[in-house]
Every structure is written in C-alpha cells, then in structure tokens.
Amino acid sequence: MSTNEKIRFDAIVVGAGLAGSAAAMVMARAGLNVALIERGRKPGGKNYFGGAIYTHAIQEVLPDFMERRPPFERPVTEAGFWFLSSDGGLTKMMTSGGKLANEPADAYMALRATFDLWWAEQAQKEGAFLIPKTTVTDFIRAEDGRVIGVITDRPDGELYAPVVIICEGVNNLLTQKLGLISHDLVPAHQALAFKQVLSLPMETINARFGLPDAQHGVAASVLGDISLGLPGMGFIYTNKTTISVGLGVMLETLIEYRLKPYEVLQRYLQHPAIAPLVEGGQLLEYGGHLIPEGGWREMPKLYTGGAMVAGDAASMVNALHWEGTNMAIIAGKVAGETAVVAHQRGDFSEQTLARYEEQLREGFILRDMKQYRNFSKFLDTHPQFMDVYPSFLNDALGNFFSAYGKPKRQLFKEIYGSLTGRRPLFKAVGDIISMGRAVLGW
C-alpha cells in the first residue's frame, strides 16, 4: 500500500541508543513530531557495554527517572582499581561510602538490552515515534546540500524532516557518508571490548564480593596481567544475579599479536585472583563491541546543514574514566535542544546548528575530550602501565606488609630494587610525568 505522499516528521533520530533516545525525548517533549529509527528489533538489541551507567546524565534529561523504575542492576557502592600481577597477586585500590553512598547512586550497573529498551520507552512516552527493524542507509539532500531526510533499507523507505540527528553508534557509516569525517574506522583507534555475563546466586555474589545485599555493588577497573601487558583494561561489575566480566583491548593490538578475544578473556578468568570470584558461574552471554577510543583527534565535525552527530558515532568516549554513555546522553540532549531552537527559528542551516557544538564546548564533553586528546596515544607508547607498574605495586605492598626478620632499610632497598629492576628510576619518573601530561592535556 504505497502512496505517493511523503512521510514527514519534524525531526529524525537515527539510532535508539542512549544518545538517540535522549535527543528524541527532548524534542518530543518540546512538541516536535519525532521519528526514532532503530535497526534492531528492539532498542538495545544491538548495544553492549561493560557496564555501569551514570545517573547525572539521565537526571539531566529525566529528572524523575527513579520514579520511572529504570531496570538498573546494583548501584555502584564500591569502585576503584584492581592491579593483577603475573604471579597471582592482586592489589586493590577501592573506595566506598562517601559519595558512593548517595541515594540515588551516582552510577548503577546495567545491561543494555533492558536499559536501552526502557530509555527508548521514555522517549515514546514523550511522544516520539519509534520505527524499529529499519536501517538508515543514506540521506536526502536539498539542492544546497542540506540534509532534508533519510533513505532506509525498506521499499518506499524515504522519510523527510528538516533536521536529522545521527546517533548511529561506533560504526559511523552515515557520518562518513555526510563527509563529517574523512575516513573509515581505523583499528588503531578502536578498542574491542568483550565480556561474559555469568549467572550466580545473589547470595554467592554478595559473599564473594563482601557485599551486605543486592543494594550494594562493586565496579572495578582491572589492570595488569590480564591484557598480556598490552594496552587494555579489564573490568568486573556485579549485577543482581550475574557478574559482567571482560576487558577492552585495542583492535590494532589484537590484530598485530594475532590474539583471539576469547583466549585473552579465558586467561583473565583463570587468574588466581579472578577465578574464585567467577567459579561455578553459568554463562548467559558472551559478546563484544567496538569502542571508539580515538579521542578528540578522531572526532568528526559535529554538525552540518540539517544534521548533527552524537554519541559513539562522534567518538565521544573517555577511555580512562569509562565515560561514554553519559556523554552520549548529554550530547543527544544538547543536539535535541538545538533542533528545537532551529524549529523555533525556522532555520536549519549549519550556522544555526553550530549552537550544538558551542553548547558542548561549555559543558564537560568537549573540554574533557580535548584535555584527554593524547591519552590513547599515551597508552600505546607506555605499555609499562599495563604490566610493569601493576606487578611492582603487588611486589611493593607484598614486601611492605610482610616480616622477613630483615632490617627495614633492606626491605625498602628491595622495594626500590623491584621497581628499578623493572624500569630505571629516571624512566619511571618520566612515565609519571607523561601520564600527568596525558591526563591534564598539556
């Protein structure tokens, strides 16, 4: 039943992920007729992360989010770093209480298949029109090149709107098609994250992680032996009755060393400090996803006439801080607000949509992205942070808290020796300085 009438909306969002549904929510709330196009059967069906999700961003879009019963797993009440050494050692640097005791929590463990579905439902409740099972393949352009609609993979699949927000995720084919970035994905700038979701009884998880109940949870970044000394970081998250455990390794590294993700993951799960935590867990899920870790330098131009880009498609990820979901939500919101402004002005030109980037510059996203612009390169050139220092930390603390009946002066010498044996002092000092520079953006 195809008609010749064009299908028109006030705005089109490509991708019902965290950025897309946030954008749709904001625009629908402002009264725009919004099409939210998702290629999966359901929102979240194609998405994957570690993971924990930060509430500050959700709250900015949806102040009463807790009353809408988000499908969170446990709150993050304990967070920090675990350093693994190759001889089975584990040093934990964890924090709990204080800010982590806030209610609602600053972050919650979640699974994307349920969370994204709920998030898109909130957009639908505001009036956004979700179109699933449909992939956007190209744009409809006006004579002046402005985007005025999208073409989908379905017969008679054209949709028209004066503004399109592209939240297509890491595989940003549409962003490339618009010429907002000049090249395809590069393995050097993509991390492949993979994980297992293991089912265990709630009480077992509580006991193994020292948690009083399911209203407490651990989120740990795991460094050291797990990634074979290669640039990569592991994670372990406690859900209600599952554990998400996995790691991210740069794609280029996996290719260069011919590593199979499941072998790396198996090795990680067999580490003497990790194995007892996951023992007996029933495998519910095994999956992986690319993470755009190219940072600031790999960000596309964020807007053009009639279109804006947000989330992973725009490389909005801060690898060190596990941030990405929050940036996606805030960027989606700001893009949505910009579309609303454009509608008020009746002007969807590049000049009007520039507001999107201006707003992002004032917030944390573009400031952080710029500050951390050297960080992924830093990890590439400083693999010692992945093996030397975690092992040293385990040795040093092991020595410090042991009594051998030796004078302490000798103990400190041994600790010092266990560092300089691995890395000369001047290089270690240099490493600390370059890490500081990479983080502070000097």
Partner 1 sequence: MFHALVAVKQVPDTTNIRIDPETGNLVREGVPAIMNPYDAHALAEAIRWKRQLGGKVTVVSMGPPNFVVTIREAIEMGADRGVLVSDRKFAGADTLATSYVLAETIQAIHEEDPIDVVFFGKQAIDGDTAQVGPGVAVRMGLPIVTYVVKIRELDLERRRIVAERKTERWTEVIELPLPALLTCEKEIAEIPFAPLPDLIRSLRYDPEMWTMSGPLEFDKGQVGVRGSPTIVFKMGTPPLPEAGEKIDAREVGVAEAVKQTFAKADAAGILDTVLGGAR
For partner 1, the binding residues (CB under 8 A) are 1-3, 7, 129-131, 133-134, 152-159
Give whichever of 133 and 370 is closer to partner 1, judged by the CB atom. 133
For residue 115, the minimal CB distance to partner 1 (Å) is 16
For residue 230, the minimal CB distance to partner 1 (Å) is 37
For residue 311, the minimal CB distance to partner 1 (Å) is 24
Residues whose CB falls within 8 Å of the CB of residue 302, separated by 6 or more in sequence, listed in order: 180, 308, 309, 310, 314, 356, 357, 360
Give whichever of 35 and 163 is closer to partner 1, judged by the CB atom. 35
For residue 132, the minimal CB distance to partner 1 (Å) is 8
Residues 164 and 150: beta-carbon distance below 8 Å: yes
Give whichever of 63 and 155 is closer to partner 1, judged by the CB atom. 155
Give whichever of 134 and 391 is closer to partner 1, judged by the CB atom. 134
Distance CA 349, CA 134 (A): 27
Give whichever of 153 and 263 is closer to partner 1, judged by the CB atom. 153
Q: Closest by alpha carbon to 22, among 361, 339, 341?
A: 339
229: left (phi over 0), alpha (psi -120 to 50) or beta: left
Give whichever of 156 and 263 is closer to partner 1, judged by the CB atom. 156
For residue 156, the minimal CB distance to partner 1 (Å) is 4
DSSP per residue over 247-297, as a string?
EEEEHHHHHHTT--HHHHHHHHHTSTTTHHHHTT-EEEEEEEEEEE--GGG
Residues 231 and 379: beta-carbon distance below 8 Å: yes
Residues whose CB falls within 8 Å of the CB of residue 211, separated by 6 or more in sequence, listed in order: 74, 77, 78, 205, 217, 218, 238
Q: Closest by alpha carbon to 237, among 76, 88, 104, 106?
A: 76
Give whichever of 156 and 347 is closer to partner 1, judged by the CB atom. 156
For residue 37, the minimal CB distance to partner 1 (Å) is 10
Residues 342 and 161: beta-carbon distance below 8 Å: no
For residue 154, the minimal CB distance to partner 1 (Å) is 4
Q: Is 341 exposed, middle or buried (0-12, 13-18, 19+ CB in 10 A)?
A: middle
Give whichever of 131 and 314 is closer to partner 1, judged by the CB atom. 131
Residues 342 and 352: beta-carbon distance below 8 Å: yes
For residue 152, the minimal CB distance to partner 1 (Å) is 6
